């Protein structure tokens, strides 16, 4: 069975209940080293360190469980990802006979920060991971295994992301992601920046973790012309539009005239575009500035609210005359969804009320629903009127 990959809003399987990292005494030994073709590997296990990303089998329910996300940086041309992996200690100390790793779930997110899950870019699961021993152990019933999810095929545009790879267990065991300080690391950051997060539904919600963890990505650097990022622009303020995963959400009004501006930025300068279109509204004009194509829309109807709009550029050519083909972006239109979670509700209203009478700036611009440069009672009224609307 091939790994499953989903590029849409979904919930990673809830294999976790509560979380606290724990320490174990480990015996240093062999070097795991990254697989061939690794674009990023945070490094081998650090002697004397602890573990996180706890997942129980069916016998050690007293052990803590958690999902750990660590950051990596994709270079200027983007990556074609074929595999993700993590190093994990499989600890069978509860019983004399242990368990095994029978699967793995994984997720890549962007924009993660304290108490903020960011945006899901890609996720999936497999019941056929490649599991190999690294040669390290932590006692009679504890060994370190590398869990690899292979057969993937998706593109990551330049930027910073967070990766989680969680093993699925069967038997009397618990697994924990090995901590690292960067030995044998590849790419950036190199197991030394402490920008990891731990997530436990109904408990520790996206909290920073003091450490770096042994996981990584295999693939190739993209050398072909490629759309790398998009944005919805109002009054100069940009809402990112990812090319994979969950769509970005434009919560600001297009009135008067149903006007929206969408930008597409490529990994190299472009020279021309044959035509552009949108699934709602009409293209009023296009312009090119280096690697960025700007598409100005008009007559985007109010009936398109609470739906996804697709903006397409056809026959885009670079400065060498190479045809890049078709570039598409999906925009979630949801008036008043200030926090971008796909539904207009009381948290959105609370955000606008907390910023009322502030001039629009780079931190609060999503609350300026009517785009007049000031967060006011008019914006509060719009969000109030839209309560309960959501994206499909």
The label of the residue with tokens 């948290």 reads 347
pLDDT at position 10, please?
A: 36
Pairwise CA distance, residues 260 & 337, whole Å = 16
Highest mean pLDDT among 25-34, 88-97, 114-123, 327-336: 327-336
Q: Give the pLDDT confidence of 2-18 residue by residue, as tens digits.
A: 333 433 333 443 333 32
Mean pLDDT of 353-376: 96
Residue 97 in this model has a pLDDT that exceeds 70: no
pLDDT at position 237, please?
A: 94
Q: Give the pLDDT confidence of 242-257 residue by residue, as tens digits.
A: 887 788 999 999 999 9
Q: Is the peptide bond before 375 cis (omega within 30 degrees of 0)?
A: no
pLDDT at position 361, please?
A: 95
Q: Quickly state the pLDDT bin for 187 (edges 50, 70, 90).
A: very high
Residue 26 in this model has a pLDDT that exceeds 70: no
pLDDT above 90: percentage of residues in the chain: 56
258: which 2 tokens?
A: 């149903």
Q: Give the pLDDT confidence of 201-222 residue by residue, as tens digits.
A: 666 678 998 889 999 999 998 7
- Spell out the residues 6+ positions from residue 12 whose beta carbon is closer than 8 angstroms to its own: 67, 105, 107, 123, 164
Q: Give the pLDDT confidence of 112-132 residue by residue, as tens digits.
A: 999 888 889 999 999 999 999
- Spell out the residues 6+ positions from residue 53 whose beta carbon is closer than 8 angstroms to its own: 66, 67, 68, 86, 88, 164, 166, 175, 176, 177, 213
Q: Quickly state the pLDDT bin for 67 (edges 50, 70, 90).
A: confident
Mean pLDDT of 70-74: 95
Q: Is the peptide bond before 256 cis (omega within 30 degrees of 0)?
A: yes
Residue 23 in this model has a pLDDT that exceeds 80: no
Under the phi-then-psi rule, with left for phi > 0, alpha for psi from -120 to 50, and beta for the rest, what region is 230?
beta
Pairwise CA distance, residues 325 & 111, whole Å = 29
Highest mean pLDDT among 77-81, 191-195, 286-290: 286-290
- Spell out the residues 6+ positions from residue 350 whose beta carbon is closer than 8 angstroms to its own: none
């Amino acid at each position: 069975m091939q790994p499953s990959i989903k590029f849409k809003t979904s919930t990673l399987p809830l294999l976790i209940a509560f979380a606290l990292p724990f320490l174990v005494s480990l015996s240093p030994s062999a070097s795991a080293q990254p697989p061939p073709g690794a674009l990023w590997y945070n490094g081998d296990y650090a002697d004397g360190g602890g573990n996180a990303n706890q997942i129980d089998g069916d016998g050690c329910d007293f052990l803590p469980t958690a999902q750990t996300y660590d950051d990596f940086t994709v270079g200027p041309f983007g990556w074609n990802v074929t595999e993700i992996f993590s190093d994990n200690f499989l600890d069978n100390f509860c019983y004399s006979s242990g368990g095994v790793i029978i699967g793995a779930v994984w997720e890549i997110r962007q924009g993660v920060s304290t108490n903020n899950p960011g945006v899901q870019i890609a996720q999936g699961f497999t019941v056929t991971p490649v599991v190999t021993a690294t040669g390290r152990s932590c006692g009679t019933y504890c060994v370190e295994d590398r869990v690899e999810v292979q057969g993937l095929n998706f593109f990551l545009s330049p930027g910073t992301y967070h990766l989680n790879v969680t093993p699925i267990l069967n038997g009397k065991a618990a697994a924990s992601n090995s901590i690292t300080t960067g030995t044998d690391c590849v790419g950036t950051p190199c197991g030394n920046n402490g920008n990891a997060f731990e997530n436990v539904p109904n408990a520790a919600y996206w909290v920073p973790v003091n450490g770096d963890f042994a996981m990584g990505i295999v693939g190739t650097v993209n050398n072909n012309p490629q759309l790398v990022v998009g944005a919805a622009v109002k009054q100069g303020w940009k809402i990112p539009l990812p090319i994979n995963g969950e769509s970005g959400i434009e919560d600001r009004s297009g009135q008067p005239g149903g006007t929206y501006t969408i930008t597409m930025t490529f990994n190299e300068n472009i020279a021309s575009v044959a035509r552009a279109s949108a699934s709602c509204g009409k293209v009023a004009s296009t312009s090119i500035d280096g690697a960025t194509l700007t598409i100005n829309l008009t007559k985007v109807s109010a009936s398109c609210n609470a739906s996804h709009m697709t903006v397409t550029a056809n026959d885009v050519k670079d400065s060498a005359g190479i045809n890049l083909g078709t570039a598409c972006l999906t925009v979630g239109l949801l008036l008043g969804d200030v926090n971008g979670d796909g539904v207009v509700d009381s948290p959105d209203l609370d955000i606008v009320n907390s910023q009322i009478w502030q001039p629009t700036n780079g931190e609060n611009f999503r609350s300026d629903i009517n785009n007049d440069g000031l967060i006011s009672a008019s914006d509060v009224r719009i969000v109030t009127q839209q309560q309960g609307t959501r994206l499909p």
